[in-house]
Amino acid sequence: MAEGTRAAVVLGSGGARGYAHVGAIEVLRERGFEIVAIAGTSMGALVGGVTAAGKLDEYTEWARGLSQREVWRLLDLSITSPGGAIRAERIIHKVGEILGGATIESLPIPFTAVATDINARREVWFQRGSVERAIRASIAIPGVITPAVINGRVLVDGGLINPVPIEPTAAVEADLTVAVSLSGMRALGATATPVKASSEQRPREEWTTRLRRGASEMLESERVRAITGRFAHAREVPDALDPAVAAGLDGAHLTDGVLSVPVSLGGDPPVGSLATDALVRAPADIGLVDLLNMSLETMSALISRYRMASNPPDVLVTVPSNAVRTLDFHRAAEMIELGRQLTTEALDQAGY
């Protein structure tokens, strides 16, 4: 049924989980779909751009070979960079080499990269100009990767406003729209149902079990280590330079290479109590970058649900938000395979 079917493909934001987009596109091609348009934001813009340029195989081969140390070198950490700790110029330069200076209007497949104009508070669709510069603007995770400035606009990650940008494909003559969201419910049983709770301090017996369960989930999903920990272990951050001090974070500290900030979960437990110990030693001691990314992912999931409710895709592939951490770009192989698996299941369910 899929042979010759024209598909508009929408690729969402989500950092390293975006390697799942590669697996999704591989499955679509294997099933005979003709991809007639691609819209992407953040990592979706990167994978979408190299796909539209006919360079996906070259990019995938390079990404599969990256080690963890090579990824951190390419991300180009700089504590003093304004607007983000990562410049990402090295990785964008490599992507630019793969693209060979391609422009969006010259691509064999129509392509839209979505970014966010942080001053105007509106999304920006790049449908002309340098593919490389459009990708750079779209991947600028607020507070993590430095913003891009193009023609006076300060641009950050398109996922801030439109995590799964279906709208740019609305006018495309296609038989169906396939969207890949990287902000799915966490794999460890989360639910979208709101929780009604009291802000009054309750006896610790009522909440310590829940806290331990949450800590266990976070440990299993590997989200308790911060980006600065990786650099500290790699000795790329001098011992004399404490990122907490450099960042001006009151109460933050660097322990075993992990930058942490105190996080209160409500109430004022006495110092030295089990409550205080649990807050410090369990999930509250989250790395700053991880905490920011988790916040953005929570927001993205909500925005995606509302936007897709009014403009749903024909096929939706959903990748759990805790599949890998946002900056785990050395885990390409497993995310590509996960993308293949989830796309196969979604297409089978939809009858394609």
d(CA 320, CA 20): 11
* Extended beta strands in the chain, E state: 6-11, 34-41, 84-86, 111-117, 122-126, 143-145, 148-150, 153-157, 176-184, 253-255, 258-260, 315-320
CA-to-CA separations, 20 to 212, 261, 309, 338, in angstroms, rounded: 31, 31, 23, 6
CA-to-CA separations, 322 to 64, 91, 158, 182, 328, in angstroms, rounded: 20, 23, 20, 9, 11
Active site residue 42: yes
Alpha-carbon 264 to chain mean position: 25
Q: What angle do CA 241, 328, 255 make, to 5 degrees?
A: 30
Closest CA relative to residue 155, chosen from 170, 133, 175, 177: 133
Looking at residue 268, its amino acid is: D
Residue 331 · residue 20 · CB < 8 Å: no
Active site residue 157: yes
Per the residue annotation, which of 13, 42, 181, 300 is the catalytic one?
42
CA-to-CA separations, 254 to 13, 225, 228, 264, 327, in angstroms, rounded: 29, 11, 9, 18, 19
Is 168 exposed, middle or buried, given 0-12, 13-18 or 19+ CB atoms closer than 10 A? buried
Per the residue annotation, which of 157, 285, 290, 328 is the catalytic one?
157
Residues annotated as catalytic (active site), given as ranges: 42, 157
